[in-house]
Every structure is written in C-alpha cells, then in structure tokens.
Amino acid sequence: MASCEDRLVSAVNPVGKAIWFIETRFADTVSLDDIAGNVGISRYQMSRAFSLATGWSLVRYLRGRRLTEAARSLAGGAPDILAVALNAGYGSHEAFTRAFRDLFGLTPEQVRARGDLDALALVEPLKMDENFVDGLEPTRFEDSKALLVAGLGARYDWESSKAIPAQWQRFVPYYDNLAGQVGQMTYGVCCNSDGAGSFDYICGVEVTDFSQLPEEFSRVRIPAQRYAVFTHHDHISTIRRTVNTIWNKWLSESGHEVADSPDFERYDERFDPQTGNGAVEIWIPIKA
C-alpha cells in the first residue's frame, strides 16, 4: 500500500515531484539524471519543465539550495568548513569557496565570522507556477516531414531567454530574402538543450538546402517526427503560460512521452508580428 508521502507526490506534476525530491535529498549526491529518473521522465523534459515552471534551471536551483543550507551551517558557527563543503557536494575547500562567493559575494569564512545571514541572497524552496491554461488540449496530432530551418541563433539559459524577442527583431531584415526559402512560415526552434538548462534558439524559415546561406546563420535539421500541435491564441507575451501548461500538465496527464527531437513554434499568416496578436502553433515531438 502506498504511503501518505507516495500518494502526495503522485498527485503533483513532474516539477512538484522534482522539488520534493531535491528538498528531501539535496544533501546527498544528486544529479539531473537522478531527479529525472525518480520523476520518470527524460532529463530533457525534466530540465525544460522545471525551468518553465520556476524560471530557474534545475542545476542552478540545486546548487543554490545546497549553498544556502551551507551558509546556515556556517552562520551557526560550523567549525569545519571542509566538512560543510563536502556536505554541499564540493570536493575541495577551494571549489566550495569559489561557488559560495559567486552566489553570496562573501567567503565562507566571512559568513562564519559574521554569524548571521543578513543581506545574503538565500535560495529558499521554490513554489512552482501553477497558473495553467484551463482545458488545454492539442489542436491535432501530425506526422511532419523532415525540415531544414535556417536563421539567427543564440544560446540561452532560462534566465537570459528574455532576450529572444530582440533576436526576432534582428531576424526581420532577412525574412523573405533568403535563397531557397520555402513558404512564408517562420519557426522558433529550441534544440541542443543540456543538463544545465542551456539551449539553442533559432528564429528562421524553412529552406531547401544550406549551401547559399550567410555565414553567420544557424542551421538545424529537424527529422521526420510525430508531433502534438497546440495553438496559442492570446498575445505572444503570454505564450510561456501555454508552454508551461503543455510541459507540466498536459504531458504528465496524457501519458505521451517527449521524443529526443527539437520542439518549435510555428508562425503563419494568422500571427501579426507588429502587434504580437494572433495564433501561434507550438509543436511538441512525441514518441509514436
């Protein structure tokens, strides 16, 4: 029979489960793979869902929680800084001091000498964003052909991704002026995600080949794939709420698994880039 804790955890979405797992085990050696395996989803889905729901990369949050608890121990007078470092998952006094100073602006020795946590930017347990879209379901499931997408690309983490709209503005002069452009649709492609929560974002168009593109352009090959396609109808500034609902509610309730392939937004004639209004399609790759 399931315990009360098991029933509580099973009732929440993947990010709630991840936060529970971190808060009960962050003093142990815990990796992104450990957390994703406990939740029962891929490391990519775990990283993406966590960042969408909280605004933090999972790795950064775990590091911040460990260092915050280490700061509490030091402010309480912990006599052995190396022991505190080891408990926080660091293998040396030097590595611990470097990470501690980067987060708090003080060394472990200074916090211990002060004996308080005043003015430290502590990382407390997160409350995830559960402001979901009601009744969100795919508008359709679609088997897409392979695509070649080219455009302007940049590497982001979940904290710096606020710069994506400016990236689209830089792409505007190139639109409809590319050799080999196919159709009028534009794509916002998320790919090459890593365990630290960083990812590449390419705003671009479909092309017939990559041979005549400007040197500074990024390129991505999207394989033939089955997708769940969602339509976001509100202003583009609120699209994160729709994407968060997909990754943290619909996927966990639907039983579908995310495939190891880029996901993307697709903008057609229904979207007005001048006002930010109009329909935007969100294509999530799923395992057949």
Gap between the Cα atoms of 62 and 19, Å rounded: 9
232 within some domain: yes
Residues 237, 276 share a domain: yes
131 within some domain: no
Gap between the Cα atoms of 66 and 89, Å rounded: 8
Residues 68, 17 share a domain: yes
From first to last of its 288 residues, what are the pLDDT tens digits of the chain? Answer: 233 333 333 335 788 888 888 887 776 778 888 998 888 888 888 888 888 888 888 888 989 999 999 999 999 999 999 999 998 889 899 999 999 999 999 999 999 999 999 989 999 887 766 678 999 999 999 999 999 999 999 999 877 888 898 999 899 888 888 889 999 999 999 999 886 778 999 999 999 999 989 888 999 999 999 999 999 999 998 898 999 999 999 998 998 999 999 999 999 999 998 888 999 999 999 998
Which residues form the domain of 278?
Answer: 140-285
Residues 86, 158 share a domain: no
CATH number of the domain at 223, please: 3.20.80.10
Residues 178, 96 share a domain: no
pLDDT at 11: 39
pTM of the model: 0.76
Residues 199, 88 share a domain: no
H-assigned helices in the chain: 4-10, 14-25, 32-39, 43-54, 58-75, 81-87, 93-104, 108-114, 164-171, 239-245, 251-254
CATH number of the domain at 62, please: 1.10.10.60
Q: Is the dihedral of CA 45, 186, 239, 139 positive or negative?
A: negative
Gap between the Cα atoms of 63 and 96, Å rounded: 11
pLDDT at 124: 87
119 within some domain: no
Residues 279, 151 share a domain: yes
Residues 156, 92 share a domain: no
- Domain count for the chain: 2
Residues 161, 88 share a domain: no
Residues 149, 61 share a domain: no
pLDDT at 22: 85
219 within some domain: yes
128 within some domain: no
127 within some domain: no
Residues 144, 68 share a domain: no
Residues 215, 167 share a domain: yes
The β-bridge relationship of strands 181-191 and 263-267 is antiparallel
129 within some domain: no
14 within some domain: yes
Per-residue CA distances from 225 to 23, 48, 181, 288 (Å): 37, 19, 21, 9
Per-residue CA distances from 109 to 71, 77, 96, 288 (Å): 10, 10, 11, 55
Element (H, E) at 152: strand 147-156
Residues 274, 152 share a domain: yes
